[in-house]
Amino acid sequence: MPGYATRAAEPSTASTTETLDPQDWSAVADLAHRMVDDAVDHVSGVRDRPVWQPMPEEVEAAFAGSAPEGSTSLEDVYAEFRRNVLAYPMGNIHPRFWSWYMGAGNFTGALGDLLAAVQGSNLGGGSHAAALLDQQVIGWLRDMVGLPETGSGTLTSGGSMANLLGLTVARNAAAGIDLREEGVAALPRPLRFYASDQVHSCHRKAVETLGLGNKALRRIETDRGFHINVPALKRAIREDRGAGLNPACIIGTAGTVNTGAVDDLRALADLAAEEGLWFHVDGCIGALVAISHEYAGLVEGIERADSIALDPHKWLHAPFEVGCALFRDRALHRQTFAVSPEYLKGTARGLASGEFLHEYGLQTSRGFAALKVWMAIKEHGIAKFGRLIDQNMAQARRLAGLVRDNPPLELMVEPELNIVCFRHAPAGWAEAQLRALNTEIMVRLQETGVAAVSDTVIDGRHCLRAAICNHRTRDEDLDLFITETLRLGSMLSRSMQ
């Protein structure tokens, strides 16, 4: 070929062919056993370590190097991992990590991730065991939230992608045209989606990604408990229809990220049915309350949704990452994403005789995330995960009680699920002073390794936010947290006045 030097092909021999497999499998086995031992020590001893600690400058600098040209022994690579990575985790497996909304992982799930990587299956589809197991897990999750057996779903990287898939199907179902062929420019009327003003920011990203623009997502005011105001929602739908817009989808939130508020899902399902709108539920925080023994009634109505987003890496405590998008109508789900090129045709027998799972989402290649969920559910059973949800809900109520009993701590809103919002509020302090004080309390709790919480703003008031989605949390952890918060607040109050 012009521009390319050619030479005769050399015969392939064992001595000249390279591979990534080790030359000495027994040495790798010894190191792998040590890795597992270290992993057991890391998780079993997590309570004895700080929740989080800042990295020294020399550790941060280690991540600035360029990719190596040559090789390094696996022993040395693992030593560097232990020294610079394992020693400085985010901290979310620690019993006193309550920042943002995470989940604490579980060791069986971690082993599942290892085994999934060893098996190496691609969940794009085909006839193999991993694909069947994936669909079994989808079925279990579908059953947990009450969707019919004829429904469908797909695992995703997390809730943001699960919500995007749900809203994509909603968009296409409401378009009134072949949107996949014609595109959003051909829409006869602009679509409108409706959610509370507490809706997660991933929904803005979703409508922007779908080509509809941020204006397509109409935020509806909430009541004093931060639930969507259903009469206001009805008015908004009526106004938009009168203005020539096309109301397409109601997004109900089963657990807002700020306070854990659960919208009235039954009322939203009724309204969606009356208006002929798609009903999507963002259940990434609270959908799995459906398996709770004490609080399942809080999400009653979720089983009437057309689509649901949820996160097994939260209250099923699967190691990151795994989300799930579920759908009532399997045909609409598949019609939104299916593409069958000549190189991905099914056959009556052989490897391609299994269903192509990539036809239910955006990823042609997808890892075997289902295994870590499957193994943990097999080991512990759904009933135990339901009890762990009840446990976290009770802990949130206990924490709220400790706040009420210890002024100048101030509870911002009664917890509905497992999120507690409060602040250290000395009498007479201005809002800007309270923000500075509570931000410093939060950072010092993190830097000392005592606890990790995040912060937010509710009705214009800054506060601390503890989201207890953690199967390792105990009552004494809550006691220590409050004790240290009071101590830091008292000390800082004197110095900041």
Segment 173-205, tens digit of pLDDT: 999 999 999 999 999 999 999 999 999 999 999
Q: What is the chain's mean pLDDT, rounded? A: 96
Sheet containing 454-458: give its strands across: 409-413, 419-424, 461-467, 454-458
User: Is the per-residue pLDDT at 11 higher than 90?
Assistant: no
Segment 432-454, tens digit of pLDDT: 999 999 999 999 999 999 999 99
Pair of tokens at residue 450: 């005592």
Closest to 265 measured CA to CA, from 420, 145, 140, 415: 145
Dist. CA 86–CA 154, nearest whole Å: 31
DSSP string, 363-377: -SS---THHHHHHHH
Share of the chain above pLDDT 90, in %: 95
**Could you say which DSSP state residue 412 is in?**
E
User: Using 50, 70 and 90 to split pLDDT, how confident is the model at 342?
Assistant: confident
User: Is the per-residue pLDDT at 31 higher than 90?
Assistant: yes
User: Using 50, 70 and 90 to split pLDDT, how confident is the model at 13?
Assistant: low
Amino acid (one-letter) located at 381: G
Q: Span 50-59, mean pLDDT? A: 96
Closest to 47 measured CA to CA, from 467, 479, 317, 449: 449
Q: Span 270-291, mean pLDDT? A: 98
User: Is the per-residue pLDDT at 411 higher than 60?
Assistant: yes
Segment 370-399, tens digit of pLDDT: 999 999 999 999 999 999 999 999 999 999
Pair of tokens at residue 39: 């992993």
Pair of tokens at residue 140: 């279990």
User: Using 50, 70 and 90 to split pLDDT, how confident is the model at 497?
Assistant: confident
User: Is the per-residue pLDDT at 6 higher than 60?
Assistant: no
Closest to 170 measured CA to CA, from 272, 99, 82: 272
CA 175 to chain CA centroid, Å, is 28
Classify 92 as helix, strand or coil: coil
Q: Span 420-426, mean pLDDT? A: 98
Dist. CA 456–CA 434, nearest whole Å: 13
Classify 229 as helix, strand or coil: coil
Closest to 466 measured CA to CA, from 482, 479, 453, 484: 453
pTM, rounded to two decimals: 0.95
CB atoms within 10 A of CB 236: 18
CB atoms within 10 A of CB 185: 6
CA 452 to chain CA centroid, Å, is 18
Classify 420 as helix, strand or coil: strand
Dist. CA 229–CA 221, nearest whole Å: 6
Closest to 403 measured CA to CA, from 450, 438, 443, 440: 438
Pair of tokens at residue 218: 């109409």
User: Using 50, 70 and 90 to split pLDDT, how confident is the model at 340?
Assistant: confident
Segment 149-180, tens digit of pLDDT: 999 999 999 999 999 999 999 999 999 999 99
Q: Span 455-484, mean pLDDT? A: 98
At 14 the pLDDT is 53
CB atoms within 10 A of CB 220: 23
Pair of tokens at residue 318: 């699967």
Share of the chain above pLDDT 70, in %: 97
